[in-house]
Structures are given as structure tokens and as C-alpha cells.
Structure 1
Amino acid sequence: MQTVTALRWPGCVNTRDLGGLPTVHGGRIRRGALIRSDRPRPASVDAVLRAGVRLVIDLRLAGECAADPSPLAGHPVYRNLPVLREEDTVLEAMAETLPAIYRAILDRGADRMTGVLTAIALAPPGGVLVHCHAGRDRTGLVVALALSLAGVPDEEIARDYAVTAACLPPGSGDRARRLFGQITEATMLETLAYLRERHGGAVPYLGLDDTAAALLRARLTEPAGEPVREPAGERPGG
């Protein structure tokens, strides 16, 4: 089992560098290549840029961004690429459980997911930051697709996803707490199994051509034997 690196970015509570996760090909995810987070706050901007991030993908809807603008909006690194439709304003209204919500997002949003993964593949040299509001659901799915394409085993993807439960507050209300309790490895494993059974896996689901898929794998992974670059000023996380 490998560990990712929790990042101490001011204003953020659910941020980690996915570098170090192993692939089935014997390599690993490159340090600094793919970072997941809750939405950055004004105090986070310097840390984001110092981390070498050259593309920030905000997965929130336009209405969410208007109500709570990104402090990076207008910066050359920033792009808003929603993975939901405008009518899907409340995730919890889509289904009764997190696995069912994730199935609904996948079934409705293949074209938008493909746009996000293509943007990661074609990003300028440097790191890519993916975030939504809390860095849980939409971010979790995009990261799962990216890691799956890069060859990370399901169990490692699920283990990283479950770390979010230790980073976020459970929320208020019975339904919110019930959904929060489903931030588990089992939820992501069920989602990845559905992706294969219903859509054939990440590659057929996204429909990326060979060039885009190869670019994504090349930017995210490094072969076994390369020295690991440990990020400075950060701490290991689960």
C-alpha cells in the first residue's frame, strides 16, 4: 500500500497530491502531477502556484462559481469545466445513496467527463489541480477516471477516495450524515465495478483516442526505479 501526500494549503481541508500511487505496470503516479482538493480560498492561491500547478480545473456549475467565485478566476491557469448539467444543482436530489448518485453522474455526464480528462491530458507541463466544492463527489469521480486510465488498481483508487471522510465535517441533518457515512472504499469499488459493467471501463466510457490516452498516462505516471521527489513543507497522508 502506498500513501499520497496531504497538502497544507491555507483555507483548504481536503487537499492531497496523488503522487506515489502504484500502477499495475510497475510504475507510479508522478509527484505533483495530479492534485485533488476542495475549492481553493483566497489564502490558498500562493500555495497552489508554488506547488507548480499549471492548470486548475473547477468542476462546479456556473451558478456555483457565480455565487462563490474562485480566487483564481481570470488567472491563466484557471478553467471552469462542469461535469453536471445546470439542472443538477443538488447532488443529493439525484439519488438516495452515494453509489447511486455516482452512477447518475457517470450516466449523464460522459461527454463532460471526457472534456475534463482531455484537458488534463493536454495541460501545460506542470501539475493539474482538480476541485469541486468539497472535493468529494465530482472530484472523486474525475480522479478515479484519471487514475484508472493511468493504471492505478481499483483498491488504491478506493483507498484514496475514502481518505476524504477524515478531512471533511459530516454536515448537518440525517440525510447528510447518512451520505457522509458512505464515503468508504466500498462505495468507490462499487462505482468502478459499475463503470466496467455498464460502460466497459474508463477507456470506452470516455472515448479518448489513443493519442489523448497516451498523453494522459505519460504526464501522470513515471516508471519504477525513478527517484521519488518528496514535496517540501508537506506531510504524508493516508
Structure 2
Amino acid sequence: MTLVNFRDPATLADPAGRWIRPGALYRSAQPFPNDNAGISAQLRTAGVRTIVDLRGEAEARDDDWAVSAADGVEVVAARIQPTSGELAAAMREMTTDAGLGAFYLLMAESAPEAVKLAVEAAARPGGVLLHCAAGKDRTGFLTALLLDLLGVPAEEIVADYARTGAALTQIFEGLAERNRAALNDYENGTLVVPRPLLEAPAGAMTAFLELVGSRYGGTEGFLAHCGVDAGTVAAFRAKAAASAEQAVAPAAGVTA
């Protein structure tokens, strides 16, 4: 068994190699049901040396990455809690794709230390895998921020996010098996999941990037707000940018 929705954004978002160095950054869902020899071999082949786990404490299990950790992969817990009073209220009010994008920024703003830790881990040598539970929401907005740092155009960032839609059936099957109690709550009508959260709509990522631009002047401004220093940004670009010029030049960013 291997990771669901595992991919290198460079493969599809940048097949010509204009912005991203292949093998620097990967994304996926969490392991279903947990880590195993097949997943460890998959990561070894891809050159992954660091895993950034974006899930909240209640979502993670001690043995989730036991096999890969024993194989020498370091696991960094950058916990972004998916619910809080403010996030729960925003989820209840969510009805549109743009509302999901606003929810992403609210979730990122709620966890500046986790965002900082994740970006610092992404700048480490070797391949780095970002994942949350589904590999769609927290993984999606952090991948978007990192791709924007490399100057990847907004339309390609949005397209990379939307590709997760093709894997959602498999992802939801894995989540249902792993979280049977939560599924029972959903079936009994006590857990309401807004329609946009069940999809990977392009409009959500478009809205997220536009909000980052309008509120913070772009990705670098938002990451600085989270405590990410210029040296970390430079280190990530030096590692993951396709060319030396990109490694030192500011990213294009997204402005409103």
C-alpha cells in the first residue's frame, strides 16, 4: 500500500521546469490506515527525508509514521488544529467556494507557529512531504504558499490544488475507515460538513491567494507575520527554485 494523492507539484504544475526543482516538495493525504513498508519504499524512492505532519493532535496516532521514521525519515509535527470556536463558526457559515478560501486563511492565521515550523522544515535539504488528513485543505494552502514563493503563477497553483479532486473518493474512503465514529456522527445528522469542504474547488484557492495578497501584500508578508524570517525564505528558494535567479529574486506573488 502507498500514499493516496502523493505527488510532486513540479510534475504537473511545472512540467517544463520553469519554477520548481523536481523532488524538493511533495504532498499527500495521511497514511491509510498507517505507515507500512510500501509507503516507506515510496518515500525512499522519491528522496523524502522529512515529513511535515499538519494534523491536529487528536487526528494523529503514535504509529502513523513508525516504519518511515525507523527508516531514517524525520517527522516534524506542525499542528494546525482544524477546529476552534472561530473556525467552527466559520465552517457553519460556509456556503461558497470563496468562503472556503477565507476559511483557509483563517485556519492559517490561527496557527502562525505551525506555519513557521512547516516552512522551516520545507527548507531542509532533501525531499519534504507535506500532509494533513485528506491532503487537501491544510496541505493545499501551505503548498500554495510555498509554490508562490517560487514564482509559480496563480493559475498553476490553483490547478495543482484542484487536482486533489480526482482522489477525493479514495481519500474519503480512507478517512471513513480510520474515523468510523466521526462518520457515524455524520450519518446521524450531528455533524454537518459544508459542501465546499467535500470538494477541491478552484475558486477556494483563488480566493485564498487573493486574500493573502490583499491583507498581507503577498506570501512573504504573510509568512513574516507568522514569524518566518528572510533567511528561511531564501533557504527554501535556494533548495527548491528551478534556477539560481529565482533563488534570489522575490516571487511574483498575488495581489488583489
TM-score (normalizing by structure 2): 0.72
AA aligned to 1:118 is: E
Q: Give 1:180 deviation, angstroms.
A: 4.4
Greater percentage in helix: 2
Deviates more, 1:35-44 or 1:150-159: 35-44
Structure-to-structure mapping, 1:1-238, within 5 angstroms? 10-20=1-11, 21-22=13-14, 27-40=18-31, 41-42=35-36, 43-66=38-61, 69-71=64-66, 72-73=68-69, 75-84=72-81, 88=84, 94-95=90-91, 96-97=93-94, 98-121=100-123, 123-124=124-125, 126-169=126-169, 175-176=192-193, 178-180=195-197, 182-207=199-224, 208-223=228-243
Change in Cα spacing, 1:117 to 1:69, as seen in structure 2 (3 Å) is same
Q: Give 1:93 deviation, angstroms.
A: 6.0
Deviates more, 1:111-120 or 1:138-147: 111-120
Contact preservation (8 Å) 1:39, 1:70? no
Deviates more, 1:198-207 or 1:133-142: 198-207
Query: For the aligned residues, what is the CA RMSD?
Result: 3.0
Contact preservation (8 Å) 1:18, 1:32? no
Contact preservation (8 Å) 2:168, 2:199? no
Structure 2: how far apart are the matches of 1:62 and 1:131?
Answer: 14
Change in Cα spacing, 1:200 to 1:161, as seen in structure 2 (3 Å) is same
Structure 2: how far apart are the matches of 1:104 and 1:139?
Answer: 14
AA aligned to 1:54 is: R
Q: Alignment identity in percent?
A: 34
Aligned residues: 210
Change in Cα spacing, 1:194 to 1:35, as seen in structure 2 (3 Å) is same
TM-score (normalizing by structure 1): 0.76
Q: Give 1:27 deviation, angstroms.
A: 2.8
Q: Give 1:13 deviation, angstroms.
A: 2.2
Change in Cα spacing, 1:177 to 1:111, as seen in structure 2 (3 Å) is closer
Structure 2: how far apart are the matches of 1:92 and 1:108?
Answer: 12
Q: Give 1:66 deviation, angstroms.
A: 2.8
Q: Give 1:179 deviation, angstroms.
A: 2.4
Q: For structure 1, which runs of at least 5 residues remain unmatched after alignment? A: 1-9, 225-238
Residue matched to 2:177: none
Cα deviation per residue 1:191-220 (whole Å; 9 max; x = unaligned)? 100111122211011113332211111111
SS at match of 2:168: coil
SS at match of 1:19: helix
The 4+ residue runs of structure 1 with deviation greater than 3 A are: 20-23, 71-76, 91-94, 170-177
Higher Cα radius of gyration: 2
